[in-house]
A and B are shown apart, each in its own frame.
Chain A
Amino acid sequence: MHRLGGVGLAAFERHEQSKRSFAELSNELSQSQVDHLHSQLNQFRTALARFASSHRETIKNDPTFRHAFQQMCSSIGVDPLAGPRKGGWWAELLGIGDWQYELGVQIVDVCVSTRERNGGVIEMAELVRLVTKLRGVSAGTITEDDVVRSIKTLHPLGAGYQVVEVGGIKMVRSVVKELDEDQAIVLALAQESGGRIVEDTLVDRKGWTQERAHAALDNMLLRDGLCWLDEQDKQHDRVYWVTSAMQWEA
């Protein structure tokens, strides 16, 4: 019987030799695979860079395009904002990070400056309108989607900015305060009447007891500062005005 390796010390040597060769080959193979990946990544990077540089302005200025781009990013599992520091190379490449943070700062600006009159709850449409006004005409339009995204980037700051939906209307809350269920209903009803709300409305339309309606409105008035009191109404002694649901022109 002739074995390939043969027997004896020489065979052992040969065995070792082939083992080494295999290891070398495997190294080579994985090396080439890594190289291949690297070149692919480079290609991708260049392509993205080219895409970014040629579409950068469009991304910044065109809300529909920006939305499509962000959808594309999330469908391939990348976040244009993610990265170790300063938004990572995605952000550097696209300038999207700065853009998003800048928008975030403007959102905070609007929320803080209107807080005294709306108690820290602002309607999304109003927020978008005020932010757009703050940015000026040349900065291009922004959408709700952009605002929601920017609010997410504010999350690490722990300032408690949150988007809540009340009666089908999106509101942005800039104070760390839970809106309880009753308050959400009050907000929703107030939206329909330009901010004006009375206890009877809640009793008639929601079947609440007078006490429950009174307690909910009183809490919003005294504890949370979400509404203002009006004692000079012709029909009711006490009318409450939810400031975030009022339409302010200037």
Chain B
Amino acid sequence: MALSTHTTSSGYLLPSIHSAPPFFTQQPNSSTQAVVTEHWTRIILGYARHRRLFFLRIEDAEVAGGDWDEVFRNERINRRLLPDHLQTILASMAGKSQAVYEPPKQTRAVLLYWRRPEEWAEVLHTWVSSTGHMNTIMTFYEITDPPVESPLSGIPEVLLRKAIAILAKTGRAQMIGAADGDGVRFFASGGK
């Protein structure tokens, strides 16, 4: 019985370890569990990037029918990732800055960093520059829901704010408070 890779219906290639029955059980040996956690982390971040998913909740492993079924359930071998196991994995990811608890001060939902906020900041700045929006004031809505799909389409506001804050530190962006929602202005380079 060879363990093989599997392509999900959404086109994501799962590694062969995903077909191994014990991969779905939390391992009592801590160094073995570290290996398991590492593989799960890679699968979760890869899948999130593949489907542009930003949030992951413990419920996603509890009830079927969510975005994560393809990954957390393997019907071919009748195994699924249990909520407690997922919680351990999320704790490890949060510890390694591969995700943050969002909202903070709870441990049942995370914002996934398949791109780190620093990388998002660069993506954002490049996009603003290539679409000719430098020096103009943009609303968050214009960034998260542009008429032409962009690398930033659908980015959660909390992540967008983090990215803008990083750009603001180097003088490449400025937050502008307004009554009907916040806006932001971008600059080509720092030093203004």
Using a CB–CB distance below 8 Å, which chain A residues touch chain B?
116-117, 194, 196, 221-222, 225, 228-234, 239-241, 246-250
Contact of B16 among A229, A239, A241, A248 (CB under 8 A): A248
Residues B22 and A229 in contact, CB atoms below 8 Å apart: yes
> In the assembled complex, which residues on chain B have CB atoms less than 8 Å from the CB atom of A241?
20-22
> Smallest Cβ distance from A109 to chain B, in angstroms?
18
> Smallest Cβ distance from A197 to chain B, in angstroms?
11
Residues B78 and A116 in contact, CB atoms below 8 Å apart: no
Residues B79 and A228 in contact, CB atoms below 8 Å apart: no
A contact patch SS:
mixed
Contact of B17 among A117, A196, A221, A233 (CB under 8 A): A117
> In the assembled complex, which residues on chain B have CB atoms less than 8 Å from the CB atom of A240?
22
Contact of A247 among B2, B24, B27, B79 (CB under 8 A): B2
Query: Residue-by-residue, is B20-37 near A (CB-CB < 8 Å gives 1, otherwise 0)?
Result: 111111011101100110
Closest 10 CB pairs of A and B: A228-B22, A230-B22, A194-B1, A247-B2, A249-B4, A241-B22, A116-B35, A230-B21, A231-B25, A250-B16
> Smallest Cβ distance from A117 to chain B, in angstroms?
7
Residues A221 and B78 in contact, CB atoms below 8 Å apart: no
Residues A228 and B78 in contact, CB atoms below 8 Å apart: no
Alpha-carbon distance A250/B24, docked complex (angstroms): 19
Residues A250 and B4 in contact, CB atoms below 8 Å apart: yes
Alpha-carbon distance A248/B4, docked complex (angstroms): 7
Alpha-carbon distance A246/B5, docked complex (angstroms): 14
Query: Apart from A230-B21, A241-B20, A249-B3, what 4 extra A-B contacts exist at CB < 8 Å?
Result: A221-B28, A232-B21, A232-B78, A249-B2
* Interface size in chain B (residues, C-beta < 8 A): 24
Q: Looking across the interface, which residue of chain A has its beta carbon closest to that of B3?
A: A248
> In the assembled complex, which residues on chain B have CB atoms less than 8 Å from the CB atom of A222?
28-29
Using a CB–CB distance below 8 Å, which chain B residues touch chain A?
1-5, 15-17, 20-25, 27-29, 31-32, 35-36, 78-80
Contact of A239 among B3, B21, B23 (CB under 8 A): B21
Q: Looking across the interface, which residue of chain B has its beta carbon closest to that of A247?
A: B2
Q: A117-B17, A232-B80, A234-B78 are in contact. Are A247 and B25 (CB under 8 A)?
A: no
> In the assembled complex, which residues on chain A have CB atoms less than 8 Å from the CB atom of B25?
228-232
> In the assembled complex, which residues on chain A have CB atoms less than 8 Å from the CB atom of B35?
116-117
Alpha-carbon distance A246/B79, docked complex (angstroms): 17
Alpha-carbon distance A5/B84, docked complex (angstroms): 110
User: Which among B31, B32, B35 has the highest number of chain A CB atoms within 10 Å?
Assistant: B32
Residues A229 and B78 in contact, CB atoms below 8 Å apart: no
> In the assembled complex, which residues on chain B have CB atoms less than 8 Å from the CB atom of A116?
35
